[in-house]
Amino acid sequence: MKRVAILISGGGSNMVSLVDSMVGDHPARACLVLSNVADAGGLAKAKARGIATAVVDHKPFGKDREAFEVALNAVLEQARPDVICLAGFMRVLTAGFTARWAGKVLNIHPSLLPKYKGLNTHARAIKAGDDQAGCSVHEVTAELDGGPILGQARVPILPGDTPDQLAARILPMEHKLYPAVLARFVIGDRNPVMLS
């Protein structure tokens, strides 16, 4: 059985969809939900599901990302994950971290990568006049939102859409896509999952 650690910073809706998918004959189980925010809503949801939780607050480390990651790695190494899923984890990871866990870290990003890396993806897609938006699951590398794409889900951008309306339509697709990619990834299948 593969062990999956899930890193969150907020409410944890993608974490919940991942955890709730890892049941029955699924080849993986969540071993840890870790947050960099002590009062992240997702921590209570993980505890309610019987999953170990941990907090490594980034604030005491200031701008020293390496020192934060030393503390993060200490907790992760105790949990011994085979896979790490970033699920709304709002910290940029250094090349040292991504090298330490190379080939084991997944992230979900709210755009059709390689378009719109970084933040404010929905507003940028609308402003560009795109007719489609969506989300991508990718392997995490040292390049921000730049690793190999393992899955994408598409939704139409409708006339008059606001970024919030578009985000609300994409989120249920995130909750389908991420578990589908994880189920393949943990058995070594890196063929992209495409949903629409």
- Where in the sequence numbering do the catalytic residues fall? 109
Pairing of strands 132-139, 105-109: antiparallel
CA 66 vs. chain centroid, Å, equals 20
194 forms bridges with which residues in the sheet? 152
β-sheet with 105-109: strand ranges across: 53-55, 28-35, 2-8, 83-86, 105-109, 132-139, 149-156, 193-195
Show the tokens assigned to 2.
């593969």
What type of residue sits at position 80? R
* 3-class secondary structure, 48: helix
Count Cβ atoms below 10 Å from residue 10 Cβ, excluding itself: 16
